[in-house]
Chain A
């Protein structure tokens, strides 16, 4: 991955939207503006001891995925468990 942004039209399609021609320029400008936040996160160097938190149901993501378990949500849930982001024993 590099610093390149995904074009607005492509993002819109992923988000189930369509961009009208006249809105494209303004939207690109706004997305470029917001992309600065994303770049800040991307370039952040975390300490090796900053692990992803093991979360339980009362926390966040596990509850989030359970309550919104559509196909993508379920995939991410299993992905999260596989990578150790979500603590299964605590979740159960």
Chain B
């Protein structure tokens, strides 16, 4: 297998087997990924494609293999979102405020992947600091959807989703704060996995909202998602928010039993998505799955609470970008003026809106009524989610309530963009695991379904593998 056509369709699982059998070398796989990237430039998915560094890494992997070192991902090319540190590569979070910033070290997740023999070919485009659902709020321009380049790829990990969907790499890393891995995965017709909070180290992930941020995986099969999980989900003493040992799990949800929220079948979901999701649920029923339709408590409040919490944390986290430590220095008579000049000039409109809203939520007199109350919703939501899952199984919803949309949608009401996160924010608020998989197609556009579970990684991965069998995938219009 040394031709681009076969490479772009192969899973990471199969690629590993071929490299181990000596049918293809790590250098060849990386060269194929670079060729594939140059054929799909129209997607605007890469912030940096570093051919020299990638080939150097591939040569090192070849040597390690020759030395007999056992590697789980030998020569597997991967792409990494531009808010995760890859030593020597651009990590600008698609923001002018970090323009030209190169990471001085590898994030733990990246280090584990490199140790396993994977090769990072480049960093991918995204919404600025992960704030957005279109990958259009980027200093590098919008990422295009491989199924229709007039439409957005979803976000904020749109670049990572687009390169996996277009067959450039079989695996990519993204980050998920409120659906940023799963929503672009759904809009690009691939798999997106976010393990429970604390499973994957956040060391080296640029913070947006630390209590919600997680590194997630994009792949073209659930098996590949499992493979990368095995490599990356390891304890890291440098991340205090990780599980100390094994995941804590005190219940076993029923098997072949899922619950579907009423909202997923209502007008809150675009007709094209609703129809495909309805057909998907029908297939499950016909095959003997038990489906319970539930009213999820605090369902509509979850989104609002999420935004209160995320914006508050973003306000604090982004305080460090003052133009002194990072970015291009600007003029100013005194410190405050310099900071204002820098942030006004280099932050994009969505980032400005969110940190201003964060300032509001944390203001004196508003804190208890907004931030504290949103925290209460979060606690209640988790309690209810566990209770409902114990009785009726994990939550099954569409991943995105809308089909891929035009880039200009973001210029209208911001709240319309936020509605894209209607179903995805649950998992982040509750620290649950969640996986999106292709459920079907509405015309030429992919529709994703998503399973969310509080019962631990193993159960989530098993459920995802079982459910994904009822969905379908297609090759996009832009493909390597």
Which positions in A face B, CB cutoff 8 Å?
A: 1, 5-6, 8, 11-12, 14-18, 20, 27, 30-31, 33-34, 36-38, 40-42, 44, 46-47, 50-53, 57-61, 63-64, 66-68, 70, 72-73, 85
Contact = CB atoms under 8 A, between A and B. Distances in A.
Contacts of A44: 301, 373, 377
Interface stretch (B39-47, B143-151, B311-319): B311-319
- Listed residue (A8, A11, A41, A66) with the most chain B CB atoms within 10 angstroms of its CB: A41
B271 interface: no
A27 B347 CA distance: 14
B432 to A, nearest CB: 13
A8 B377 contact: no
A63 B240 contact: yes
A35 B340 CA distance: 24
A15 B352 contact: yes
17 contacts: A17-B355, A34-B357, A34-B414, A34-B415, A38-B304, A40-B301, A41-B301, A52-B372, A52-B379, A53-B379, A58-B197, A58-B242, A59-B211, A60-B197, A60-B212, A66-B240, A67-B210
A20 B345 CA distance: 11
Nearest to B416: A33
A64 B359 contact: no
Main secondary structure of the interface of B (DSSP, over half): helix
The list of the 9 closest CB pairs from A to B, nearest first, reads A60-B211, A53-B379, A14-B359, A63-B241, A37-B304, A40-B304, A11-B356, A64-B210, A15-B355
A52 B376 CA distance: 5
B25 interface: no
Contacts of B347: 17
Interface residues of B, number: 60
Interface string B160-195: 000000000000000000000000000000000000
B207 A68 contact: yes
B377 A31 contact: no
Given A34-B415, A57-B241, A61-B211, 17 more contacts: A11-B360, A12-B356, A15-B315, A16-B343, A18-B341, A31-B356, A31-B357, A33-B414, A34-B353, A41-B301, A42-B370, A52-B372, A52-B375, A58-B198, A60-B241, A63-B240, A85-B375
A17 B240 CA distance: 32
Contact of A63 (B210, B244, B340, B370): B210
B21 interface: no
A36 B370 CA distance: 12
Contacts of B317: 68
A61 B431 CA distance: 12
Interface in B277-332: 300-301, 303-305, 307-308, 313, 315-317, 319, 322
B431 to A, nearest CB: 7
Contacts of A11: 356-357, 359-360
A60 B210 contact: yes
A50 to B, nearest CB: 5
Contact of B340 (A18, A68, A70): A18
Interface in B373-417: 373-380, 382, 413-415
A45 B344 CA distance: 37
Nearest to A14: B359
Nearest to A61: B211
A59 B198 CA distance: 8
Interface string B429-468: 0010000000000000000000000000000000000000
A33 to B, nearest CB: 5
Nearest to A70: B319
B477 to A, nearest CB: 33
B316 A57 contact: no
B353 to A, nearest CB: 6
A36 to B, nearest CB: 7
A57 to B, nearest CB: 5
Given A17-B355, A41-B377, A5 B413 contact: no
Nearest to A19: B344
- Listed residue (A14, A34, A50) with the most chain B CB atoms within 10 angstroms of its CB: A34
Given A16-B322, A41-B374, A63-B241, A1 B352 contact: no
A44 B301 CA distance: 8
Given A52-B375, A57-B240, A41 B304 contact: yes
Interface in B329-351: 336, 339-341, 343-344, 347
